[in-house]
């Protein structure tokens, strides 16, 4: 999917919500555990109940990998289900991969071609030749970790390097990589006012924003500082939606949570 098509979906659905499918077998309603594939059953129910209110889903690959081969099967079924039932949905493999050239190419192939994700998150530490293999894929996005929303973000990402913080250096440098137009960036909402400065550096790119609500960044602030005329934002919510309830109507409640966020987003989009 292209950025333009993503923007069109956002305006159509009045939502820039991404639902994180961080599906942990220990946290899903226990009655699902007797199903043949509990993780897929959970994801399917969540997707059916929330797809109207979001434009993207983001499985965090760790949760699937942690369950071994069954996890990969559940991931494959989930992405196939999205492609078949809701092809208008944008998909993000939250994998945070990054390795030397040839190896990154293997990861890119796995997520873009074999699983058919629209995008994958990638760590910048190993530099240009670890990221460019991902950027070669047409109509696929590479979402580079820039400023994450966890406490450890302040260990290295905000260190001063040549007079500016490392995460800003990552953004600036990556703009010069081949096919940089296929880049998006992870920027946590922990300090929404950072987004204003970030927009001076990367005025156009989509930002994937975790940490809205949970760690303090408000949706209104994120939009105030980060929104562009093409929106340029995907705001992620995972646990607050998918684990809003563990009763038999968990999907319905997840849908209501997603709808509440969508309504707030619709208001923000009206300001454009």
- The contact set with its own copies (CB under 8 A) reads 22, 24, 60, 62-63, 65-66, 68-69, 72-73, 76, 94, 96-101, 103-104, 106-107, 109-110, 114-115, 123-131, 145, 148-157, 159-162, 166, 169-170, 173
The helices-and-strands tally (H runs, E runs) of the chain is: 12, 10
96 carries an active-site annotation: yes
Shortest approach of its own copies to residue 199 CB, angstroms? 22
By beta-carbon proximity to its own copies, the closer residue of 169 and 191 is 169
Q: How far apart, in whole angstroms, are the C-alpha atoms of residue 39 and residue 159?
A: 39
By beta-carbon proximity to its own copies, the closer residue of 33 and 66 is 66
Residue tagged active-site, from 96, 109, 128, 240: 96
Shortest approach of its own copies to residue 125 CB, angstroms? 5
Which residue in this structure is represented by tokens 């646990």?
239
By beta-carbon proximity to its own copies, the closer residue of 30 and 69 is 69
Give the other-Cβ count within 10 Å of 94's Cβ: 25
The length of the chain in residues reads 272
Instruction: Let me know: does 57 contact 47? Beta carbons within 8 Å.
Output: yes
Shortest approach of its own copies to residue 163 CB, angstroms? 10
> The tokens of 208 are what?
């994937």
Q: Is residue 244 classed as helix, strand or coil in its secondary structure?
A: coil
For residue 24, report the phi and psi dihedrals to the nearest 5 degrees. -110, 120
Shortest approach of its own copies to residue 17 CB, angstroms? 20
């Amino acid at each position: 999917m292209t950025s333009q098509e993503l923007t069109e979906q956002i305006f159509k659905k009045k939502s820039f919500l991404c639902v994180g499918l961080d599906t942990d077998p220990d946290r899903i309603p226990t009655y699902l555990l007797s199903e043949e594939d509990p993780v897929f059953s959970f994801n399917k129910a969540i997707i059916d109940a929330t797809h109207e209110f979001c434009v993207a889903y983001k499985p965090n690959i760790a949760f699937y990998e942690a369950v071994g081969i069954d996890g990969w099967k559940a991931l494959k079924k989930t992405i196939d289900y999205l492609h078949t039932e809701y092809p208008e949905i944008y998909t993000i493999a939250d994998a945070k991969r990054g390795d030397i050239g040839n190896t990154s190419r293997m990861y890119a192939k796995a997520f873009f071609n074999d699983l058919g994700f629209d995008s994958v998150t990638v760590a910048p530490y190993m530099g240009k030749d670890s990221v460019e293999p991902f950027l070669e894929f047409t109509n696929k996005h590479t979402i580079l970790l820039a400023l994450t929303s966890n406490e450890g973000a302040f260990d290295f990402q905000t260190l001063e390097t040549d007079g500016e913080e490392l995460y800003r250096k990552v953004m600036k440098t990556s703009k010069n990589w081949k096919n940089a137009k296929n880049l998006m960036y992870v920027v946590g909402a922990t300090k929404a006012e950072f987004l204003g400065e970030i927009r001076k550096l990367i005025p156009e790119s989509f930002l994937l924003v975790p940490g809205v609500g949970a760690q303090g960044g408000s949706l209104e602030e994120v939009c105030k500082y980060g929104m562009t005329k093409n929106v340029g934002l995907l705001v992620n919510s995972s646990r607050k939606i998918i684990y809003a309830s563990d009763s038999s109507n968990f999907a319905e409640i997840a849908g209501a949570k997603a709808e509440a966020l969508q309504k707030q987003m619709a208001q923000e989009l009206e300001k454009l």
